[in-house]
Amino acid sequence: MDKKEDKLEQLQDWLQSSDGGQQLEEYLLQNSGLPGPRANLALAARFARYYSKPEITGTAWSLIIKWAGEPGEYLPFCAVQACAAHYSYADNEHRRQIRGILRTAMNDSGWRVREAAAIGLQLIGENDFSLLQELLDSWRPEASVLEQRAFLAGLAHPPLLESRSQVLYCLDLAEEITDAILQGKTAGCDPEHFRVLSKGLEYCLSLFAAAEPEAGFAMLRRLIESRDPRILRLVKANLGKARLSKKYPEQVQQLLAGLTTV
């Protein structure tokens, strides 16, 4: 057994042991890659996979509930993803707690914790898209701007865009969010939160459109017709993505021409 396999087995042993929490915490923090420009995403993903099953120990559950609410970055980053990985298998009470953790993480002041929430949505969707859709539909009516960004980032995930019905759901949600901007519903939000949402919209629309071009380009065309400068910037950013400009050059040029006449 090489060192990597040995460490993977050790992670599992710590999660199953009633006194392994401290050792596991130290290992995760020592190998987090932080402080630094890049967190150890692979380690967080491996940790989350241990929770993608029906049965987990009480120690394992207690750890992620504790870590999800702690200050710092990496432990919450790992814990939020692990919670989401377990969501499909969890009982009703655990699901209720996980939903609360995910929404709190979506609105966190730290971008890494917010990213963990988006990755968590992807994990739920990979396991059961109908469960993810049910979750998002329950949150959509009252979603904050940061929650909307998490929805988009979670859905802008290639494995979730292989089904036409799923892509159409993504387009519908994206249109609802852009309509809210046009209707002034985001007017009083924190400018930084709106910037974060805008950054998400600047790339996710192109992913959805590339997966379902007829409906996607129709949505982009409607957005151009709004003549709203904020929306036009979003459309232009998406049309500049290679996934559209290289595969659908004629449609992109037509829409860019529409942008120049506005």
CA distance 73 to 49: 19
CB atoms within 10 A of CB 64: 27
229 preceded by a cis bond (ω within 30 of 0): no
Quick one: pLDDT at residue 1?
39
Write the single-letter amino acid at 35. Answer: P
35 preceded by a cis bond (ω within 30 of 0): yes
Element containing residue 57 per DSSP (H, E)? none
Q: DSSP for 122-182?
A: HHHHHH-HHHHHHHHHHHGGG--HHHHHHHHHHH--GGGGSSHHHHHHHHHHHHHHHHHHH
- Mean pLDDT, consecutive 10-residue stretches, the chain (262 aa), reads 55 78 92 94 95 93 96 96 98 98 98 98 98 98 98 98 98 98 95 98 98 98 96 97 97 92 54
Quick one: pLDDT at residue 14?
85
